[in-house]
Chain A
């Protein structure tokens, strides 16, 4: 599957799609990028006169690239019909180290811990353009085709 094919199968659209490109993907890992445009509406309120990307949005970006894109790839590899898949976040445990400001591009790297009984659990890291670690943790979701 190409980057474009995977992104086309995601159940998200703007303003809640946080994937620009999948750089690499295989059955055990995925790397992808997203640019946080300064016009994103949440910057108006987070924080007042001081736009910083909310941690919950960084978590969503990590989940979309690191778990959902990988899940779509894995389900598709097993012959499942991804377009009818039910997807849900089931847990996240993230530690944050640095902020992400408007117009920064981040890279998400995710490694599969396991994919069993429709549950995909991954170790996910997010880096900025200087390759500094922004946040990392474990995210799990259910994906059932």
Chain B
């Protein structure tokens, strides 16, 4: 498995408790939108981001939070923050 696949697997586990659309979750891919596809509300999106911080031991700033709208953006932010860390 590539790093990206591992990240997607981790991300999928994180968003699972908050999703309201099982079908979109089952077919989750880079283009999946958290709010429009998975039907996560903006308040629960905060919980997703806090869970991402805990899982990867990174800190998400306000600017990154505003961009965190789909799987692709989330993966990019996580990768960038992980690179900054090491």
Contacts and interface: CB of A to CB of B under 8 A. Distances in A.
A7 to B, nearest CB: 25
Secondary structure class of chain B's binding surface, majority of residues: helix
A25 interface: no
Secondary structure class of chain A's binding surface, majority of residues: strand
Interface centre among A114, A118, A119, A141 (most CB of B within 10 A): A119
Contact of B49 (A90, A117, A142): A117
A119 B62 CA distance: 12
Contacts, number: 21
Q: Which range holds the interface residue count of chain B?
A: under 10
A126 interface: no
Contacts of A117: 46, 49, 62, 65
A140 B43 contact: yes
A116 interface: yes
B43 A114 contact: no
Contacts of B36: none
Interface string B37-73: 0000111101001100000000000100100000000
Interface of B: 41-44, 46, 49-50, 62, 65
A84 to B, nearest CB: 19
Contacts of A140: 43
A90 B40 CA distance: 12
